[in-house]
Amino acid sequence: MFGFHTEAAEVVRGIDLTGRQVVITGASSGIGVETARALGSAGADLVLGVRDVAKGEEALGGISGSVRLLQLDLSDLASVADFAAQITAPVDVLICNAGVSKTPDKHLANGLDVRFATNHLGHFHLAHLLKPQMAANDLGRGARIVVVSSAAHKGMPVRLDDLQWQSREHFDGAAYAESKSANILFAQEATRRWRGGGIVANAVLPGSSLTGLQRFHGEALKRKIGFIHEDGSLDPRMKTAGQAAATSVWAATAAELEGRGGLVLEDCGEALPVGPETHAWAGYDASVADPETARALWEHSEELVGQFLP
């Protein structure tokens, strides 16, 4: 049985992904590296998007199988378009893994919140650009989109009237959490709109692990959040990067998920709505996953892409 402690490498044992193309964003550190390593070991052809190609080459050395490493800055829609243009073969799986949390700059020069632009809008645009390649799969199987969200989404529904945090006091953590709610809504709405073409999307709660996502978190903040104790030791609720990658790998490969989308996944299974049966770091906030908000966010995202494309 898979669960909290399952490593990504365990998920792909006995699975053959030969001939399947998998696109992964944010593949140069943490969960992304372990996701790529596991899927590559199963024979997948990997296309890996990274901000820094040199760093990616160093981090991804030794990964099995066919690997293409391409530059990708998800906060820049032109970079997203350049990346997508280099992918012409059918895509079986798109894993929207890249993300930013606390950053030195809160907004881009164009006024977009850094977290919203990177974590949601860039992936939204990428999925649209790769939709023909996902729909072009002619081998009798559908394509999957895996969107990496976070338990941080709880209690932070998307504010459609202020997506860029222009009229609220801006907190990195809150803006990050709201972008993670947007990830869940995107998976829901992509499934609703694209299921007829054989494309489904699921959101993943990977669990907490110390990765490059926290590179701007100081020790005090890590203690406040609960990642580490006063003596510097890790909280037992923390996962290794390999454990945190396991649900993404499961979402990409599990036979029982064939044709199923709009789900929130956790610990290699379906996540439970927050309630008496879930602990503080587990489960998803069902109040965030509102279908009408998902539709409205999709339409607003389309408008933003049109507005900010060069």
Looking at the domain assignment, is residue 2 inside a domain? no
Both tokens assigned to 90: 């059918």
Residue 173: per-residue pLDDT? 83
> Among residues 124, 165, 176, 186, which one is catalytic?
176
Concerning whether 176 is annotated as a catalytic residue, the answer is: yes
Identify the pLDDT of residue 215. 47
pLDDT of residue 139: 59
Q: What is the pLDDT of residue 142?
A: 86
Q: Taking the CB of residue 306, how many other CB atoms lie within 10 A of it?
A: 9
CATH number for the domain spanning 209: value is: 3.40.50.720
Q: In which element (H, E) is residue 182 found?
A: helix 172-194
Give the pLDDT score at 73: 98
Domain that holds residue 80: 8-308
Provide the domain count of the chain.
Answer: 1
Q: What is the C-alpha separation between 34 and 118, in angstroms, rounded?
A: 21
> What is the reported pLDDT for 216?
44
Judge whether 1 lies within some domain: no
Question: For 5-24, how does the pLDDT look when each residue is reduced to its tens digit (9 = 90+)?
Answer: 999 999 999 999 999 999 99
pLDDT for res 34: 96
SS3 99: coil
Phi, psi of 67 (to 5 degrees): -130, 125
- Note the pLDDT of residue 239: 85
Report the predicted TM-score, pTM, of the whole model to 2 decimal places: 0.90
Q: Is residue 191 part of a domain?
A: yes
178-216 tens-digit pLDDT: 999 999 999 999 999 999 999 999 999 998 766 555 444
Residue 14 lies in a domain: yes
Cα angle value 189/190/193 (rounded, 5°) = 85
Which residue in the block uniquely carries the two structure tokens 């798109």?
94
Tell me, yes or no, whether 99 lies in a domain: yes
pLDDT beneath 50: ranges in the chain: 214-217, 222, 224, 229
Residues 218, 249: Cα–Cα separation, whole Å: 30
- DSSP string for residues in 34-95: HHHHHHHHTTPEEEEEES-HHHHHHHTTT--S-EEEEE--TT-HHHHHHHHHT--S--SEEE
Predicted local distance difference test score (pLDDT) of residue 217? 46
Burial label, 104 (beta-carbon count in 10 A; 0-12, 13-18, 19+)? exposed
What pLDDT score was predicted for residue 237?
A: 67
List residues bridging with 46 in a β-sheet. 22, 67
What pLDDT score was predicted for residue 146? 99
- Confidence at residue 72, expressed as pLDDT on a 0 to 100 scale: 98
